[in-house]
Each structure stands twice: as structure tokens, then as C-alpha cells.
Chains A and B, each alone.
Chain A
């Protein structure tokens, strides 16, 4: 039986290393092209991280029954989810688990699907600071509704509570842990 790359252990290990790097150095773009061929980076992430013990909420409705049975994850509401998939272009009001003072790790991981990490018409330009970043770093994201950043600011205002975000374009990822300070750069016309 031929297994697609994203379900193979060696590929998942490499995807994990890219994720580890992404969270360690927030704002750095990690291209997964060579690893995952035609698969969307989102599927590579979910296949790598999730199993039967995980709770997943898909607000996009994009995941099909075949995906769910392969992932083995439990299909739950946003409030109970450890992992949430959402569309970066459309901001919906979500109430994810922010964790607690005693157990902040229960704060959810939100995966936002975006178009890419380059600057074009509707890109947001972000200045990032915090752990993992030597001074500051700049990040352009195409297809990210700014209201997500406003929600994030609300969720993350009382560290250690908060939500950790992965931005996933078709072939690349960027991680924004709750510790990253984000400032939206206004464009100069």
C-alpha cells in the first residue's frame, strides 16, 4: 500500500523540525515544498501533529470525511478544541480555550489558512518582537484579515493564557506563539 508522503514517518519528522524552527524563530517563513509535494501545508501540519488523542475543530468545513478518518482526531466544537482550522481571509468571532493559570498549555493552537508570505495588493505588513527574535523581524502576509490580529490581542492579553497561531499558505508556514508582539505596519502611500 502506497502511503502519501505526509503520512510517512520520515516526512512527519521533517515537517516537525520545520514547525519547531518556525516556533523557535517566529516570523521566519518555512517552505515545505520539497517535503510535501502537492499537499497543502495545512494537511502536512495536521497529519504530523494530530492523532486519536487530539481534539480538532474545522471552522472552514474544508476537511472531508476521508481526512478525518485518516487523522483519527476527535471532531469537537471550537471551545473544546486543541487545534482549530480557520480561514485567514474571513475573521469569525471565536472563543477558543485560552488555558488557565495552572495549565496554560491548554490554550489552543489556531491554524489560519492564508495565501502567502509576500507583499502584494492586500498584504498586511507586520513587525514582530519577542522570544525567538534577536531584535525585530518583518513579515508580509497575503490573505490575512486584520481582525484576526485584534482577536489575538484580546486572547493573549493575560500571559500565560493565550492562543498560539500557525499561518499556513499552500506550501509554507509561519508560527506566531502567544509571546510574539505584533505591530501592524501601516503602508505609506
Chain B
């Protein structure tokens, strides 16, 4: 006998969809991941009703975390309304009856996200879960997982650094855009998931716990709060975030809210003209509200 459903609540699925044994395995693995910052802990990874590659790893983390008082935010590409986010959020609403879902970043206790970290800085009361397609940054230099594990254990990233150096020789730049390899707690280098470079600095000394779930690859890893997180770079090639300057060197603003310090999505209009808008839809909403309140337009 182990944890049981409350027999008074008859539903087709357990609260949180996963059975309690699945949750336990995920919970044990998650705690170990926090103890070994950046190390990819293997787990059995249950199949979910959405495709592998659609966030099943992040979802399993969330479903093992979620409790009755949870306020859950789900975003994809920074937007709460993106189809992937909508699908996941509806699934969570269906399988976790009684919880609240929200778009407001500061109101969320749990945020599951694909490819972005919210612009709004997170607090100790929040947990961020990132969806990961490729957990291992060494996959570009070594296809064998067996060999990669030894390299990680020894913190031997020389072949990765050589690859970055080759980029510089060829292109005068490190060409990695998203999934920028980042060293955690001065040992393990992680693939921070396909977040843009813009979001990588948010991993360093974060107030909130950041969890990474790869469902298909069956790995969970973590960047604990207040932990050193350093993107790989060279002395003469420092890490750089994306550049949103226009031709005259002026930093572009969001056409909707006017913000000049958020990651922007580029749209080409039918006229051929390009416009730019905040990728983080909730941030944009709140900036817009703030500006209308203070009378700026």
C-alpha cells in the first residue's frame, strides 16, 4: 500500500495524470539533480498524451510538482497563447482539477516554459521548468552517450571548446545562437535548452530554482538558486547577447509597448516593412498597462 487516491473523488485519472510511482521516481531524480548542479540524471520518463518533442519532459516535472494551491503559467516562445502552451495548459487544467492557471508571471508559483525565460525576474517563491529537446551540449562533438558521461564526470570540455574556437576561426564569431553551452557551479556544462543568448544570464545567481526536463531523452537536470552559471567564452571573444540595434545604432523598441530592454520578435508586414514586438507577451501586456497608466503613449 502506498499513496492512494482519495476515494471520494472518482476521476478517470490520478490527480496530475501520472500514477504515484511515476511521480516518486521523478521526485527522487529531481532532488538528486539539485544536489549535482547541471548533471543530467537519467529517469524512465513516461509517455504522455502529447508527442515526444512537445514538452513531455517539462510536463512530467510539473505534474510531479503541482499541488492543490498551485498557480501555473505555461508559455512557449514567451507567449501564453502559443499553440504548444495552450495545449499543455489545457491538459494541466484537465488533470489537476482545482488549481489556478495564470498569464501573470509574478502571480505564478510554477512556470513551465519552452524556449524563453520570462523577462520579469523570478523570486524564491517560484519554480521555473524548461522544456528540453537536447539535454547534452557535448552531442555536437561526441555521438556516444557512454563517452559523453565520462567527459562530463571529468569536466573535460576541451573538445567543445575546440569546436567554439573553430567557429571563431571560420566566422570571427561563436556561431551558437540558442542552446548556448553554460558551465554550472564550475563543473558541468549544460545545454540550457533553446533559450536565446538573451536569457542565459538569468541562470546566474537566480533567486528561483530552474529545472530542465527532457522527456524523449529521459533526463532531468537543475540549476539551483544562487549558483554560478557562466556561458563558455574566450578572453578575447566575450559572451554577447543578441543585438537589437537598428542601422543607426539605436536599440529597437517594441512597437506595441515601447520597451527597449526585452527580447524582440521580428515580423515582416505585407508592405515588406519589419516591425518588432516583445517576445514575452505578459511582459508586453504589463508594460503597455504601465505606460497607459502613467499617460505615456
Interface centre among B4, B42, B188, B224, by most A CB within 10 Å? B224
- Does residue A146 face the partner (Cβ distance < 8 Å to B)? no
B36 and A160 contact, CB distance less than 8 A? yes
Contact across chains for A102 and B67 when beta carbons are under 8 A apart: no
Find residues 113-155 in chain B having any chain A CB closer than 8 Å to their own CB. 124, 127, 146, 149-150, 153-154
Distance between Cα atoms of A37 and B164 in the complex (Å): 56
Q: Roughly how many angstroms separate A51 CA and B26 CA in the complex, as a whole number?
A: 12
A132 and B154: CB pair below 8 A?
A: no
Task: Name the residue on A nearest B226 (C-beta).
Answer: A134
- For chain B, the count of residues having a C-beta within 8 Å of the partner chain is 50
Q: Convert B57-78 into 0s and 1s, putting 1 for each residue whose CB lies closer than 8 angstroms to a CB of A.
A: 0000000111110000000000
Interchain pairs with CB closer than 8 A, number: 131
* Interchain CA distance A3-B6 in the complex, whole Å: 9
| B278 located at the interface, meaning its Cβ lies under 8 Å from any Cβ of chain A in the complex | no
Task: Please classify the interface of chain B as helix (H, G, I), strand (E, B), loop, or mixed, using the class held by over half of its residues.
Answer: mixed
Query: Per-residue CB proximity of A2-33 to B under 8 Å, as 1/0?
Result: 01000111101110110110011100000000
Q: Are B39 and A104 in contact (CB under 8 A)?
A: yes
Partner of B154, one of A10, A19, A25, A101: A101
A102 touches B31 (CB 8 A): no
Least CB separation from A6: chain B residue = B3
Do A164 and B35 touch across chains, with their CB atoms under 8 A apart?
yes
Provide 24 A-B residue pairs closer than 8 Å at the C-beta atoms, listed in order of the A residue: A3-B4, A9-B3, A10-B6, A10-B15, A12-B20, A14-B67, A17-B65, A17-B67, A19-B27, A19-B31, A20-B65, A23-B31, A23-B224, A48-B24, A48-B27, A49-B28, A49-B31, A51-B2, A51-B21, A100-B153, A104-B39, A105-B36, A132-B227, A177-B35
Given contact pairs A16-B65, A178-B35, a sample of 4 additional A-B residue pairs in the complex whose CB atoms are under 8 Å apart = A20-B65, A20-B209, A131-B225, A131-B227
Give chain A's interface residues, CB within 8 Å of chain B.
3, 7-10, 12-14, 16-17, 19-20, 23-25, 47-54, 70, 72, 82, 100-105, 107, 109, 131-134, 159-160, 162, 164, 177-179
